[in-house]
Amino acid sequence: MITQSTLFRSEFIVNCNGKLLDLSHPVVMGILNITPDSFFDGGKFTEEKLIISRVKQMLEEGASIIDIGAVSTRPGAKEVSEKKEMERLLPVLKTLVKKFPEAIFSVDTYRSTVARKAIEAGAAIVNDISGGSFDKKMFATVGELKVPYLLMHLQGTSGTMQKNPFYKNVVKELIDFFQKKIAELKNCGVHDIIIDPGFGFGKTVEHNFEILRKLSLFKMLDCPVMAGISRKSMINKVLKTSPGKALNGTTVLNTMALMNGAQILRVHDVNEAKEAIELFKMYSKQELKS
């Protein structure tokens, strides 16, 4: 349903270290995994030349944010030390900030020390898959850094999250979780908060589709909503396919997410997501006229 409720804001301006990100229309976050073991593109982008080329491509295709991850958080992923994460992340981040000074970079980490070092190196957003549950210093650190925080829901840990996840009412429990965490973040001085339901993180296929179907209910939290569906198992298990063949399914579900209020699409394939947004914008414009 396209019609926006007048009770909640549909427009947000997020301050990313002085760069203003306008979310009055949906935007794309491009994924840059500099890991050897991510579920889709692990090992593809470990050389500087390839990394720079990939980021250039995503920016030219219309990405508003580049999200850099130096640790795989797929179900069952091996733990990587904080030292190793920083060794992978910081040189790449510093190079990209210098090469693309106008770009907005987010850092995909659940460690407060890594988050601090990344912001000091030029990142502008902290994207934490654990919602502050893996590092109790994260909220205070982000509050001190005065940067936007991407708050994701996860049930369990990367090693346990897909072992029989259970909810009595998945959407209600997620909204309760976000309300509590948003209050904690604001008490720590964090005001630019983006929420991510965490598709595939401690959810069954049925849970994921229930969240997607009712995504518009998350507007009551008065925060921008991000959908991270790209090439995930909620597509592959239904279509009996693999991440490498899940682009069409990703586009279909991204379109559903847009129609239910998502303001950021986190994707591996920027051009296709950007096209989905442009078509959605035209559809919405016609809907408002009728």
> Which pLDDT tens digit goes with each residue over 58-98?
999 999 999 999 988 766 667 889 999 999 999 999 999 99
Model-wide pTM > 0.75: yes
Q: How far apart are CA 256 and CA 212, in angstroms?
A: 7
CB atoms inside a 10 Å sphere around CB 5:
12
For 121, 199, 226, 243, the CA distances from 235, given in Å and listed in that order, are: 36, 11, 18, 8
What residues act catalytically? 232, 266
Q: Which of 33-37, 126-130, 171-175 has the lowest mean pLDDT?
A: 33-37
> Which pLDDT tens digit goes with each residue over 165-209?
899 999 999 999 999 999 999 999 999 999 999 999 999 999 999
User: Which H/E stretch holds residue 36?
Assistant: none
| Mean pLDDT of the residues in the chain | 90
> Which pLDDT tens digit goes with each residue over 221-253?
999 999 999 999 999 999 999 999 999 999 999
User: Are 155 and 161 in contact, with CB atoms under 8 Å apart?
Assistant: yes
Tokens of 62: 């219309």
Cα torsion 159, 164, 167, 168 to 10°: value is -160
| In the chain, % of residues over pLDDT 70 | 88
User: Are 153 and 177 in contact, with CB atoms under 8 Å apart?
Assistant: yes
